[in-house]
């Protein structure tokens, strides 16, 4: 029995699409081609005016959320730093995932904070001046009872700063076109401070000192690759 020509054409098109999808599916982990990430070793406990406070955790995580984070991320780091000049405290949380596929996505603070009982009072786009260049960030204002906690965070896919869902997906696709599965990192700094402008100013100061203190050979993994003019 001979099939009608339209059915044959449709069948061939389906085979071609399946073949292209298979050919474009990334198979190489970008993380395996780059120096391995060790957050504890790469992020110094002291830099500039900032010193880690021992036995102080920056994480607010219940057991069920911790199980989710352990599944999503390859490695996490949480620390609280104090400014030796004025006593201001900054909470740092860094989460790194080797695989930024659809199944394993960066878990953003506007999702995980409300999951811990916080109210999300405000969300806005911002920028940070890091090592003489500006990167895109997200700023949140959250509260838990009387606790007001402004947050600044940014995300890196591979060595590119991403600003949102579409931008992140396009960055992942660019890596996929070269056969690579991108890794990803989320850097979050926050402080308990009812004066939001002061909190963001101190977080900016801290972030600049942090990135400057990270080794130049891995700095782009934390703050993106500089754009050449």
pLDDT, one tens digit per residue, over 38-74 is 999 999 999 999 999 987 655 554 444 555 555 667 7
DSSP of 154-192: EEEETTEEE-SHHHHHHHHHHHHHTTEE--EEEEEEE--
Identify whether 229 is part of a domain: no
> So what's the pLDDT on residue 23?
47
Span 102-132, pLDDT tens digits: 444 556 888 889 988 999 999 999 999 988 8
Q: Is 6 contained in some domain?
A: no
| Contact (Cβ atoms closer than 8 angstroms) between residue 12 and residue 5 | no
Q: Is residue 191 part of a domain?
A: yes
**Distance separating alpha carbons of residues 67 and 107, to the nearest angstrom:** 12
Q: Tabulate helix, strand, coil % of the chain (nearest 5).
A: 35, 30, 35
In a domain, 164, yes or no: yes
Query: What local confidence, expressed as pLDDT, does residue 180 receive?
Result: 72
Residue 218 falls within a domain, yes or no?
yes
Q: What is the pLDDT of residue 91?
A: 96
The residue segments making up the domain with residue 68 are 26-223
The total number of structural domains that make up the chain: 1
Burial 117-141 (b: 16+ CB within 10 A, else e): ebeeeeeeebebebeeeebbbbbbb
Q: Which residues of the chain have pLDDT under 70?
A: 1-33, 56-72, 100-107, 165, 167-168, 171-172, 175, 226-229
Asked if 143 and 121 touch (Cβ cutoff 8 Å), the reply is yes
User: Is 11 domain-assigned?
Assistant: no
Beta carbons within 8 Å of 62's beta carbon, 6+ residues apart:
116
pLDDT at 161: 83
Q: Using CA atoms in the order 108, 189, 39, 113, what is the torsion angle rounded to 10 degrees? A: -30
pLDDT for res 224: 84
Please give the pLDDT value at position 47. 97
Length of the chain: 229
Beta bridge partners of 160: 157
Q: With respect to residue 19, please indicate whether it lies within any of the assigned structural domains.
A: no
Residue 129, CA distances (Å) to 47, 133, 191, 219 in order: 17, 5, 19, 14
Residue 8 in any domain: the answer is no
């Amino acid at each position: 029995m001979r099939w009608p020509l339209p059915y044959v054409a449709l069948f061939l098109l389906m085979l071609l699409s399946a073949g292209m999808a298979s050919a474009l599916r990334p198979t190489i982990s970008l993380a395996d081609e780059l120096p391995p990430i060790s957050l504890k070793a790469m992020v110094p406990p002291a830099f500039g005016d900032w010193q880690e406070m021992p036995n102080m955790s920056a994480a607010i995580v219940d057991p069920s959320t911790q199980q989710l984070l352990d599944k999503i991320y390859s490695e996490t780091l949480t620390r609280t730093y104090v400014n030796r000049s004025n006593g201001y405290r900054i909470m740092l949380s860094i989460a790194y995932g080797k695989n930024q596929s659809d199944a394993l996505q960066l878990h953003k603070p506007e999702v995980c904070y409300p999951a811990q009982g916080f109210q999300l009072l405000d969300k806005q786009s911002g920028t940070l001046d890091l090592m003489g260049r500006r990167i895109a960030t997200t700023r949140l204002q959250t509260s838990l009872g009387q606790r007001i906690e402004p947050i600044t965070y940014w995300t890196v896919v591979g060595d590119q700063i991403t600003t949102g869902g579409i931008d992140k997906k396009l960055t992942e696709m660019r890596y996929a076109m070269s056969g690579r599965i991108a890794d990803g990192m989320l850097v979050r700094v926050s402080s308990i401070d009812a004066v939001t402008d002061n909190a963001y100013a101190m977080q900016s100061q801290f972030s600049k000192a942090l990135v400057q203190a990270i080794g130049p050979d891995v700095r782009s993994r934390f703050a993106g690759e500089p754009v050449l003019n």
